[in-house]
A and B are shown apart, each in its own frame.
Chain A
Amino acid sequence: MDFGNLFHNYAEAVAMILFGIGFSNLLLQKNLMKKIIGLNIMDTATYLFLALKGYIDGRKAPVVVDGIQSMEAYVNPIPSGLVLTGIVVSVSVTALMLSLTIRLYRRYHTLDLDEISTLLKKEDK
C-alpha cells in the first residue's frame, strides 16, 4: 500500500473521517438531537469532499470580472452547484426531522428513541 497519496490528499481523508463520524452518530446515538447533528456532519462532509474535488490550486472562482475568458483561469463550477443543491436538500430533511422530534417530545417528553418505543408498547397494553 502506498500511503504517500493519503498524506497528499489529507483534506479528502478528513472529509471521509467526518463522514464516518456523522454516519455513526446518525446510526447509533439514542438522542434524537444528536442524531440530527450527526446527519448534518455527514452531509457537510460530503459537501467538503465535493468542493475539494472541484477546486484546482491557484485558480479562481468562475466569475468573469477582468475579461479573462480562458478556461485555465477558473475552477470547475459544477461541484459548487452540486454542493448548493445538496445543501438545499439537507436543509429540508433537517427541518422535517426537527419537526418530527418536536412532535415526539410534546407527546412523550423525552428525546430518547428507545424510551419512546417502550412508552409506545405500554400505550398498547
Chain B
Amino acid sequence: MDFIRNFSFFSIVLSLFSGPLSSILGRKWAKRVNTAEIILLGLMSVAVLWYVLQTGEAFVYTMGHFPAPWGNEIRAGVLEAFMAAFFCLIMLLCMWGGVRERESEIEASKQNLYYIMVNLLLCSLLALIYTNDLFTAYVFVEINTISACGLIMIRQNGRTIEAATRYMIMSLLGSGLLLLGLCFLYDLTGHLLMSNIQEAVHALVANGQYQTPLLVSISLMCVGLAIKSALFPFHTWLPDAYGYSTVSSAAILSSLVSKGYIFLLVKIFYRVIGFDIISSSKVIHVLFAFGIAGMIVGSVDAIRENDIRRMIAYSSVAQIGYIYMGFGLGTTAGVIASIYHVVCHAATKSLLFIAASGITDVSGGSRHFEDLTGAGYRNKLAGVAFTVGSLSMVGVPMFAGFISKLYFAQAAVGHTVKMLPTLIALAISTILNAVYFMKTVIRLYTPVKDGEKKAGYGTITVRQQPVKAVALILFILLNVILGLNAEPVIGLIRTGLEMFS
C-alpha cells in the first residue's frame, strides 16, 4: 500500500500535463479528458486520505530523493488530503454546472483553452495544498493567479478584460508582498522547507533574536495573502471579476482560488511559523479587525446591489471576513471554525452562482432584480437551489452555514476580549445576510401577473439541462449533508491540524 505515497505527487503532475494535452484535442474530447482527470485526481486524493487515516501520521515525499535541507518536499496529512479531495469535487461540480454557458459565451476556437486554465488552476491548488517548500508555494501562487486571470478574461468583452486587469494588479501587489516576506524569512532562518524554518524560528524566539524582522516577515506574508484572497479593504476587484465572467469561472474563482491562498496562510501559521508564535503576535488582531469590518461592509454593499451576480460576489467579501475573523481569534477552535467555513463557503457560493445563472436564463438574460420576479416558478430546480444556498449563507439550521456560525460563536466564547465583538458582528452580519438573500428568494417566488410578463421569460425543466441539474442536486445534497452531519468533517479538520505540528 506504500504505493499510495506517490499519489499526491502524481496528482500534481497529472493535472500539469493534461493541460497541454487538452490543447491539441478537439473540443468534445478535451471536455471528456478534463472530466475524467478531475475524477481521477479526486479518487487519488481520497486514496491518500484513506492511507493517512490508516497509518495515523502524515508522510513526506522527497522529490528526487534529495534529503531534507536541500531537496524539495511534498507533505500529505489528513487536512491536505481532505482539502484536495474536496477541491476536486467542487471543481467537477462547477464544470458541470456551467457547461451550457461555456459553450455559448466562449468562442468555439477558444474552448479547449478553458480546460488548460482549469488544469493549471487545479495543479496549482494541489501544489499549494501539498507542498512543504515555501518558494515552491510562491511559484504556484503566481501560476494560480495567471490561470485565474485566464478564467476571467476567456469570455471576451470590455468588462471582463477590465476586471482581469484589476484582478492582476491587486494580485501582483499581494504576491510582491508575499515574496518579500518569504525573502525576509529565508534570510532569518536560512531554510526554505517549512519544517526546517519552524525549528529555526522557534530557536530565534527562544533566544529573543531578530524579533522585529520576524514580525515584519509574518505581517508581510499575512497582508500579501489577505490581498490575494480579497479581504476587505482589498476587495474592489472582486465584484467585477465574479460578476461578469462565465458562470463556471465565477463559481471556481469564488469557491476555490481564494480558498487556496487561505489554506496556504493556515499552513504558514501552523507549519512555518508555529501557531503559538502567531497567536501571541499582534498580527492576528489586525486580521481580526479587518475580518469583522469585511463581514459588515461586504453585506451592506450586497444589499445596495441591484444585480444578482454582483450581489453574490459582494456576499463573498463578507464570508472571507468571517474566515479571517476566525484566524484573528488566535485559538485552534477559531481556526477549525474558519477551515470549516472555507468548506461550507466553497460548497454554497458555487451553488449560488450556478443557480443564479439558471434563474437569469429564464428571465430574458437580465440580472436585475425587477426582471427576476417569479423566476422560481419558471426554473423550479434553480429556484430551490438558490433558496437552499441562501438559507445556508444566512445560517439556518439544517444547512452548512449554520454549523460554521455555531463553531465561530463557540470559539469566541472562550475568549475574554474578542468575545463580544465577534458575537455582535455575527448577529449583525446574519441579519444583513438575511435581508438581501431573503429579499431575492421572496422575489423569486412572487407570482407574475399576466399583464406584467416580459419578453424572454421562458421555462427550463430539469430534462432540458440534465448536466446542470445533476450538479445542482449534488450541490444541494452536499450542503444538507454538511449541515446535518458536520461532526466527521470537523473531526477530520481537527486531526489534520494536530498532524500539522
Contacts and interface: CB of A to CB of B under 8 A. Distances in A.
Nearest to B176: A42
Most B-side CB within 10 Å, residue of A23, A78, A96, A119: A96
A93 interface: yes
Nearest to A94: B172
A27 B153 CA distance: 21
A100 B153 contact: yes
Contacts of B158: 104, 107-108, 116, 119-120, 123
Interface in A42-80: 42-43, 46, 49-50, 53, 78-79
Q: In which size bucket is the chain B interface?
A: 20 to 34
A5 B186 CA distance: 19
Contact of B183 (A23, A27, A50, A96): A50
Question: Helix, strand, loop or mixed for chain A's interface?
Answer: helix
B380 interface: no
B469 interface: no
Interface stretch (B43-51, B163-171, B384-392): B163-171
Contact of A43 (B159, B161, B165, B176): B176
Contact of A100 (B135, B168, B179): B168
Interface string A90-125: 001100110011011001100001001101100100
B172 A32 contact: no
Given A100-B153, A100-B164, A85 B135 contact: yes
Contact of A35 (B135, B169, B183, B192): B169
B173 interface: yes
A14 interface: no
A82 interface: yes
Interface string A11-41: 0000000010011001100001001000100
Contact of B162 (A39, A43, A120): A120
A97 B176 CA distance: 15
Contacts of A26: 169, 172-173, 176
Interface string B172-185: 11001101100100
Nearest to B136: A85
A96 B142 CA distance: 12
A123 B165 CA distance: 18
Contacts of A123: 158
A27 B164 CA distance: 15
Nearest to A43: B176
B297 interface: no
Contacts of B183: 46, 49-50, 53, 82
A5 B231 CA distance: 36
A114 to B, nearest CB: 11
A68 B142 CA distance: 39
B339 interface: no
B103 interface: no
A85 B172 contact: no
A23 B172 CA distance: 9
B154 interface: no
B146 A92 contact: yes
B179 A96 contact: no
A93 B166 contact: no
A104 B135 contact: no
B180 A46 contact: yes
B311 interface: no
B180 A101 contact: no
A18 to B, nearest CB: 11
B149 interface: yes
Contact of A104 (B139, B149, B162): B162
A104 B164 CA distance: 11
Given A96-B146, A107-B158, 6 more contacts: A23-B176, A26-B173, A43-B179, A46-B179, A53-B183, A100-B165
In the A-B complex, the 4 residue pairs with the closest CB atoms: A89-B142, A53-B187, A42-B176, A100-B165
15 contacts: A26-B176, A27-B173, A46-B180, A85-B139, A89-B138, A92-B146, A93-B172, A100-B149, A100-B153, A104-B161, A104-B162, A108-B158, A116-B162, A119-B158, A120-B158
